[in-house]
Amino acid sequence: MKNRNILYFIIVAVFFGCARSESRDDVGLVFRYNESKGIPSLDPAYARNLSIIWPVNQLFNGLVHLSDSLTVEPCIAKRWAVSADGLTYTFYLRSDVFFHSSNVFPGCVGRRVVASDFVYSFNRIVDPLTASPGAWALSMLDKGCKLGFNGCYAPSDSVFEVRLAKPFPAFLGLLSMPYCFVVPHEAVECYGSDFGRNPVGTGPFYMKFWKEGEKLVLRRNNRYFETDSNGAALPYLESVAISFIADKQSEFLEFISGNLDFLSGVHAASKDELLTRSGELNPKHRFRVKMITGPYLNTEYLGISLDSSRVAASNTSLHDVRVRMAMGYGFDREAMMLYLRSNMGYAATQGLVPPGMPGFTSATQGFVYNPDLARKLLAEAGFPEGKGLPPITITTTDDYLDICEFIQHQLGEIGMNIEIEVLPGAAYREMMANSKLAVFRASWVADYADPENYLSLFLRENFAPQGPNYTHYSNANFDKLYRGALLKSEYADRLPLYKSMDSMVVADAAVIPLYYDKVVRFVASDIEGMTVNPMNLLVLKRVTRKSY
């Protein structure tokens, strides 16, 4: 009996000793982050927000991808050509890209990706039965093209062709979106609507384990086709572990305790602990935490309805551009960002297109705090010191109430009577989408890295509710420049037109930019290779952990 007990304790000691040893090794190979919003699906067809886009970006690839500076780079397509009329795109595919090993393939070994897989994937996105929120990304395909269904054609395993109905020079940027990632028909047909729970892609990681609400584990894809500049295989990490802690304070404590390697953004519950008043990393954490920041293609702004048929009589003063401009000049964005956002963003003193957009620099000075000019504009509009100016209502949701109250206070100092209406998110979005609000707080996050994505908000043909022109801005010269830009295949040739269009929007004060957002990432000090990009994409294939 005594010997049995000794043997038992030896076995237990060995077992737990091995477990601890494996745990230490695993920490050196695993990147751990938390997704507080949960992940409803890992199907790229439904990757409409970052909580899905981030893991999908580890599991799948497309024809092209974006660099950290948002240039379009080859991925599964090693090169491409565009016809002179800008309508036909021909992609030449790599021959060393394989789908993840899965039981949907003979022998459970992933097969090579061929051009017909992209035909299938693109047609799946535009199929109404898929109900993908990304169908719009391929809406410019030539549905009547005789070469292939929905404008897609595979003349061979290594060549994929796409035909557009009309020129759209930002198309390559659209193809970098997760909606356009390639999926195998075998897996979609096998799993049906459960494909999002059983993803099979080509990415640097494959799905190993997923228990909803608890843990998602991605493992290294040893057949991944990309290498680093020295020829070493990517990814460096062995696995990625994603937890689902809903409470942001608990998430923060897990990060500070060393149980998470990454924290994205700044939450109110942890802002004062992580940051100084001016937005720098709290010195107490400088030996354990790195803060990485950069521009984010998201502009926060006030939109103003310019449609007289949709604005109440009490707000017709807003049809005078001088009143709108007085609002733009009447509050201090620098102070607003310092005191309300700890400088986690950039004061919007240019147009709507934010910094971080490749090659784009504003052609004009936007709204800079100038209360004297604001008073002068009000007087010229017939409202000296605001006398006779009807109250102006800004509609918002409660998460931006502090911003609106700041604007309310400062515009009050120049005589403008600002009222604030706070609506629940769903009601607010419905009224904004139907142009039922006189002045509204809104934001626009880029879907793809081209200024056209922002400037299309002001195209007449995009009037809400059919399109995203919520202000019902209408300018024939703007529309003409927009159409001209679509005829120029080279990005550098489009930029001067984009800058002129952005200047028009500022001059007409159709919107009042508030601030440009900032990507903010906190990572454990031993994590290397983490970068930021203006699309806030999470790229983990070059991330590793420093060994001591």
Euclidean distance between CA atoms 319 and 315, whole angstroms: 8
- pLDDT score at 272: 86
Report the pLDDT value the prediction gives residue 13, as an integer from 0 to 100: 37
> What pLDDT was estimated at residue 29?
87
**pLDDT at residue 210 tops 80:** yes
| CA-closest candidate to residue 164, choices 232, 90, 237, 235 | 90
| CATH of 297-517 among 3.30.420.40, 3.40.50.720, 3.10.105.10, 3.30.2350.10 | 3.10.105.10
Angstrom distance (rounded) from CA 170 to CA 70: 12
Tell whether the model's pLDDT for residue 422 goes beyond 60.
Answer: yes
* Mean pLDDT on 386-413: 95
Average pLDDT rounded to a whole number, residues 298-317: 79
308 with 512: CB under 8 angstroms? no
pLDDT of residue 22: 35
365 falls in which pLDDT band (50, 70, 90)?
A: confident
Looking at residue 546, its pLDDT comes to: 84
Angle subtended by helix axes 491-508 and 476-485, to nearest 10: 160
pLDDT at 12 over 50: no
Instruction: Give dist(CA 510, CA 478) in Å, integer.
Output: 12
Q: At what angle do helices 321-329 and 371-380 cross, to 10 degrees?
A: 160
Average pLDDT over residues 232-255: 96
pLDDT at 52 over 80: yes
Give bridge partners of residue 151 from the DSSP assignment: none
Three-state secondary-structure class, residue 421: strand
Average pLDDT, stretch 181-207?
97
Task: Return the half-sphere exposure (C-beta side, CA atoms, 13 A cut-off) of residue 404.
Answer: 23
Averaged confidence pLDDT in the chain: 91
Query: Which H/E stretch holds residue 513?
Result: strand 511-524
pLDDT at 363 over 70: no
Examine the pLDDT at 452 and tell me if it is beyond 90: yes
Which option is the CATH number for 34-228: 3.30.1960.10, 3.10.129.10, 3.90.76.10, 3.40.1360.10? 3.90.76.10
pLDDT value of position 359: 87
Flag whether pLDDT at 3 surpasses 70: no
For residue range 130-149, list pLDDT tens digits in order: 999 999 999 999 987 766 67
Mean pLDDT of 472-496: 95
CA distance 206 to 187: 14
Q: What is the rounded CA–CA span in Å between residue 281 and residue 203?
A: 33
48 pLDDT tier (thresholds 50, 70, 90):
very high
Q: What mean pLDDT do residues 398-403 have? A: 94
Q: How confident is the model at residue 24 (pLDDT cuts 50, 70, 90)?
A: very low
Report, as an integer, the average pLDDT of 270-290.
90
The domain locations on the chain are 34-228, 297-517
Q: How confident is the model at residue 10 (pLDDT cuts 50, 70, 90)?
A: very low
3-state secondary structure labels for all residues of 342-407: CCCEEECCCCCCCCCCCCCCCCCCCCCCCHHHHHHHHHHCCCHHHCCCCCEEEEECHHHHHHHHHH
What tens digit of pLDDT does each residue of 507-544 get?
999 999 999 999 999 999 999 999 999 999 999 999 99
Kindly report, residue by residue over 411-420, the tens digit of the pLDDT: 999 999 999 9
pLDDT of 404 higher than 80: yes
pLDDT for the residue 147: 66
Kindly state the helix (H) or strand (E) to which residue 185 belongs, with its residue range: helix 185-191
pTM of the complete model:
0.89
Buried b (16+ CB within 10 A) or exposed e, 530-544: bebbbbbbbbbbbbb
Confidence at residue 310, expressed as pLDDT on a 0 to 100 scale: 62
CA angle 68, 74, 76 (to 5 degrees): 120
